[in-house]
Amino acid sequence: MIAIVDYGVGNLFSLISSLHYLGLECIVTNKKEDLIAADRIILPGVGAFGDAIAKLDETGLVNTIKKLAGIKPLLGICLGMQLLFEKSFEFGEHEGLGLIPGKIVPLKADTDSCLKIPHMGWNRLEIVKDDPIFKYFSNGEWVYYVHSYYAKYCRENILGISEYGVMVPGLVRAGLVYGAQFHPEKSGDAGLRLLKAFAEV
């Protein structure tokens, strides 16, 4: 069973629908006991980092997530991925969960001024490090992004990258903790295959 952390940020319909399509049992929850009972955890999220980390803290689940991240697979998606890092500089400076080394910084500062921010649309994901999450995924497949900030100083943990004026870490891993900057649940068949592989790691 996969527990999807509900802390009041983002529409979870597409994610739930994708997991159900794959025949995977899931529950949307903000209860500690559900996370402990689950086989895997997904941390979704859209919006601003500061608001999201504050809302996650209000659930009282931060310590539980940190503890469980060392013993069962965890996948952060989009803003949920960014929360996994040590720090973000989105509208100020905010501490993250610290599960993956690195910082979240503005794309605008590192990309060509002619590129639109947010980075929104389809990009190829280039595999840079083999991993079980790519079990059903081929190099260069298209995935869907919506973001204005990206992970930096995390080279050792990068599994896949996409180019958008700068090399954007699209998929990262530290131990059992995975992060996808793109939205697997909105990335068609390729995204479904990544979610299927996550359910098997």
Tens-place pLDDT, residues 160-195: 999 999 999 999 999 999 999 999 999 999 999 999
Confidence of residue 112 (pLDDT cuts 50, 70, 90): confident
Using CA atoms, how far apart are residues 47 and 50, in angstroms rounded to an integer? 9
Tell me the average pLDDT of the chain.
Answer: 96
For residue 113, pLDDT over 80 is answered with no
- What pLDDT, on a 0 to 100 scale, did the predictor assign at position 11? 75
Check: CB of residue 29 under 8 Å from CB of residue 4: yes
Check: CB of residue 53 under 8 Å from CB of residue 95: yes
- What pLDDT, on a 0 to 100 scale, did the predictor assign at position 157? 98
- What pLDDT, on a 0 to 100 scale, did the predictor assign at position 53? 94
User: Annotated catalytic residue: which of 94, 119, 147, 183?
Assistant: 183
- What pLDDT, on a 0 to 100 scale, did the predictor assign at position 175? 98
User: In this structure, which amino acid lies at residue 50?
Assistant: G
User: Annotated catalytic residue: which of 26, 78, 147, 154?
Assistant: 78
Q: Is 78 a catalytic residue?
A: yes
- What pLDDT, on a 0 to 100 scale, did the predictor assign at position 151? 98
Task: Give percent above pLDDT 90 in the chain.
Answer: 91
The three-state DSSP-derived secondary structure of the chain is: CEEEECCCCCCCHHHHHHHHHCCCCEEEECCHHHHHHCCEEEECCCCCHHHHHHHHHHCCCHHHHHHHCCCCCEEEECHHHHHCEEEECCCCCEECCCCEEEEEEECCCCCCCCCCCCEEEEEEEEECCCCHHHCCCCCCEEEEEEECEEEECCHHHEEEEEECCCEEEEEEEECCEEEECCCHHHCHHHHHHHHHHHCCC
- What pLDDT, on a 0 to 100 scale, did the predictor assign at position 114? 83
User: In this structure, which amino acid lies at residue 185?
Assistant: E
For residue 109, pLDDT over 90 is answered with no
Mean per-residue pLDDT for 30-55?
A: 95
Q: Tens digits of per-residue pLDDT, 133-169?
A: 999 999 999 999 999 999 999 999 999 999 999 999 9
Q: Is 183 a catalytic residue?
A: yes
Mean per-residue pLDDT for 22-47?
A: 96
Using CA atoms, how far apart are residues 189 and 70, in angstroms rounded to an integer? 29
- What pLDDT, on a 0 to 100 scale, did the predictor assign at position 8? 87
Q: Is 163 a catalytic residue?
A: no
Check: CB of residue 103 under 8 Å from CB of residue 119: no
Check: CB of residue 184 under 8 Å from CB of residue 195: yes
Superfamily in which the 2-90+102-198 domain is placed by CATH: Class I glutamine amidotransferase (GATase) domain (3.40.50.880)
Mean per-residue pLDDT for 52-75?
A: 95
- What pLDDT, on a 0 to 100 scale, did the predictor assign at position 99? 98
For residue 123, pLDDT over 80 is answered with yes
- What pLDDT, on a 0 to 100 scale, did the predictor assign at position 52? 93
With a CB cutoff of 8 Å and minimum separation 6, the contacts of 157 are: 100, 101, 102, 169, 172, 173, 174
